[in-house]
Amino acid sequence: MLLLQAFLSWYINFFARLPTLTLFSRLSLSYFFYFSLLGLVSTFLSVFLDGKGFTSREIGEILAIFTVTKIIAPSLWSMLADKTGQQILIIRVGALLALLCFSSLFWLSTYGTIALALASFSLFWTAILPQLEVHTLTKLRKNAKIYARVRLWGSIGFIVLAVITGHAIGYFSNQAFVILGALMLLALFICTLALNNNKRKRVNSESSELMNVAIWNKIINANFIVFFLAGVLLQMSFAPYYGFFALFLRELNYPDFSIGLFVSLGVIAEIVAFIYMGRIFKHCSLKLLLTFSLGATALRWFLLPLIGANPYLLAITQLSHAASFAIYHSASMAFISNHFTQRQQSRGQGIYVGGVYGIGGATGAYITGILWLDGAGVHVAFAFAAACALLGTLIMLRLKPKMT
């Protein structure tokens, strides 16, 4: 309870100090609240849905519906951002509408209405991150070291909400999930009001047509196809973890508060990796980092169901999240930033988020929901995840190093 009180006190004080914050702090807070919501949703959405009485197959279907909006929505938002240059306006609209859609979960209880609310929420939530990434990289002039320090605040937000939600659900009901999510979205929206837009001239129709041809050539590039396919497989492999890890720990009789702690341990490792990414980039190629991350993730999913009942071995396994997410994400952002031109950055981010997270996440969630069998198919589900990551590793080996 003291943890919840301390968090609410900090949350209230943050509003008073927002106008006086530096650019670095405003960007960091935006990442903090965005990824705090991700920590809430990716860790406890399945617990919330389980509390509504849905089966594992229904949970998998809802997670797939929730994720499938990422296939199209990010690209549409990003095209609008590239054409208008109004990245911050799109972020603000996305945050406000996501808040309204998510808050509707207070009053919903049926399969159809909850699926619709989550899909609508995801439709607008996906407008935020690609534009925020482009805005941040532009403001920081693609400085990988400073970007990693800003981005690590997203990881801190992830940890804070994962731990707090675990305690809150233990003290209160599953409605704590909705309350905390609405608070984070409100704070994110207020943060976006303090961001300054990068002004750009609108391009004429002829220039726009040339840009579309140019970006298509980037998309069908062999190196990008390799990168894209491996990324889709990685996100498919994450489905049992993001969708069912909390239920997996519950079935092993871990208390609710420990769910947040185990997830947070992985994110702490992720933070350490973000801090040192500047140095890592100096000594390793993007191909090496991407391939290593995929291989480490394949081993992680293979081991997880075998050692999950042992808290010490489970804790050690969680440390590999530094490779599974932090190193892979940083290397992916560097790849996209290098592969696409400045005017293509928003659409490049949209294609990446929509294709990789949308297709990979939705497909993985649906298949995992079928394989999970209300806990009886744990080993099969994680074997599927390991196989996806291993196949992604083999594909990434075909990435041409001279182009990365």
Q: What is the phi-psi region of residue 191: left when phi exceeds 0, alpha when psi lies from -120 to 50, beta otherwise?
A: alpha
Alpha-carbon distance 279 to 282, whole Å?
Answer: 5
HSE of 137, CA atoms in CB hemisphere, 13 A: 21
* DSSP symbol at 104: G
This prediction has a pTM of 0.73
pLDDT at residue number 14: 59
Tens-level pLDDT at each residue, the chain (404 residues): 565 566 666 566 655 566 556 777 788 888 999 999 988 888 888 888 988 889 988 998 898 888 887 777 767 777 777 677 777 888 888 899 999 999 999 888 899 999 999 999 988 887 788 788 877 877 777 666 677 778 778 888 888 888 888 878 777 777 888 999 999 999 899 888 887 765 554 545 444 544 555 667 777 788 889 999 999 999 999 999 988 898 899 889 888 778 888 888 888 888 888 778 878 888 888 899 999 999 999 999 999 999 999 999 999 999 999 888 889 988 888 888 777 776 776 677 777 877 788 788 889 988 998 999 888 899 999 999 999 999 999 999 998 865 44
Tokens of 25: 């702090």
- Write out pLDDT tens, residues 187-235: 899 888 887 765 554 545 444 544 555 667 777 788 889 999 999 999 9
Q: Is 12 buried (19+), middle (13-18) or exposed (0-12) by CB count in 10 A? A: exposed
Alpha-carbon distance 321 to 162, whole Å?
Answer: 15
